[in-house]
Amino acid sequence: MVEIITHGVQLIAAHRFPAKPEHLFSRESSSGTTTSKESRRLNLSSSSALKGRYRLDLTLKGNAGSAARTSHGRSFKGAGAQDKVMLSFCGPTNQGDLYHNGEPELQAKVEFTLGVGKKLGRVGWERLEVYEGGGSETDRRGKTGRSAAFSAYRLIDPKVGLSEDDHHSRQTILIFAQQDTANFLSRLPDGTPLGGLTLPGTHESCALYGYPISQCQQPSTPILQQLRDGIRFLDVRLRVVGGELLMYHGPRPQRSTLTILLSAIHDFLSTHPGETLILCIKQETPPWHPHFSSLLYKAFKPFLDRWFLEERIPTLGEVRGKGILLSRFDRSADAEKGDWEWEEGMGIHPSRWPDSREEGFEWDCAGTTVRTQDWYRVHTFLQIPEKLEAIITHLDPTIMPSSSTSDNNANTPFTLSYTSASYFPLSLPTIIAKGFGYPSWNFGVEGINIRFCRYLLGLIRDGKRIRATVAMDFYRQSNGGGLSVGDGNDLADLLVLMNVVGVELADRLTAESLAEKGG
Contact 222, 232 (CB under 8 A): no
Q: What architecture (CATH level 2) is domain 194-507?
A: Alpha-Beta Barrel (3.20)
How far is Cα 175 from Cα 369, in angstroms, rounded to an integer?
35
Kindly write down the DSSP assignment for every residue of 132-181, as one continuous string: E-SS-SSSTT---EE-SSEEEEEEE-TTS---TT--SS-EEEEEEEPP-T
How far is Cα 394 from Cα 371, in angstroms, rounded to an integer?
8
Report the 10 Å Cβ neighbour count for 483.
Answer: 18
In the DSSP assignment, the letter for residue 427 is: B
Q: Which one of 7, 15, 167, 249 is the catalytic residue?
A: 249
How far is Cα 105 from Cα 152, in angstroms, rounded to an integer?
18
What is the per-residue pLDDT for 284? 95
What is the per-residue pLDDT for 391? 98
In the DSSP assignment, the letter for residue 193 is: B
What is the per-residue pLDDT for 2? 80
Contact 156, 169 (CB under 8 A): yes
Task: Look up residue 403 and give its amino acid.
Answer: S
**SS3 sequence of 90-106:** ECCCCCCCCEECCEECC
What is the per-residue pLDDT for 50? 52
Domain ranges in the chain with CATH number 3.20.20.190: 194-507
Contact 114, 166 (CB under 8 A): no
Contact 269, 321 (CB under 8 A): yes
What is the per-residue pLDDT for 446? 94
How far is Cα 222 from Cα 254, in angstroms, rounded to an integer?
11
What is the per-residue pLDDT for 13? 84
What is the per-residue pLDDT for 405? 54
Residues of the chain with pLDDT under 50: 21-38, 47-49, 59-77, 95-96, 98-100, 102, 135-143, 160-167, 335, 481-484, 503-519
What is the per-residue pLDDT for 404? 60
Contact 356, 386 (CB under 8 A): no
Task: Look up residue 381 and give its amino acid.
Answer: F
How large is the C-alpha radius of gyration of the chain?
A: 26
Task: Look up residue 455 and give its amino acid.
Answer: Y
Contact 464, 401 (CB under 8 A): yes
In the DSSP assignment, the letter for residue 58 is: -
Kindly write down the DSSP assignment for every residue of 338-403, as one continuous string: TEES-TT--BB--S---TT-TT-EEEEETTEEEEEE------SGGGHHHHHHHHHHHHGGG-EETT
Q: Which one of 15, 168, 203, 272 is the catalytic residue?
A: 203
Contact 332, 293 (CB under 8 A): yes
- Where does residue 8 fall: left (phi above 0), alpha (psi -120 to 50 degrees), or beta otherwise? left
Active site residue 249: yes
What is the per-residue pLDDT for 157? 80
CB within 8 Å of 436: residues ≥ 6 apart = 381, 444, 445, 447, 481
Nearest partner of 331 among 355, 304, 360, 311, judged by Cα? 311
What is the per-residue pLDDT for 83? 82
| Per-residue b or e along 60-81, where b marks 16 or more CB atoms closer than 10 Å to that residue's CB | beeeeebebebeeeeebbbbbb
CB within 8 Å of 61: residues ≥ 6 apart = 41, 43
Residues in the chain: 519
Active site residue 349: no
How far is Cα 418 from Cα 353, in angstroms, rounded to an integer?
13
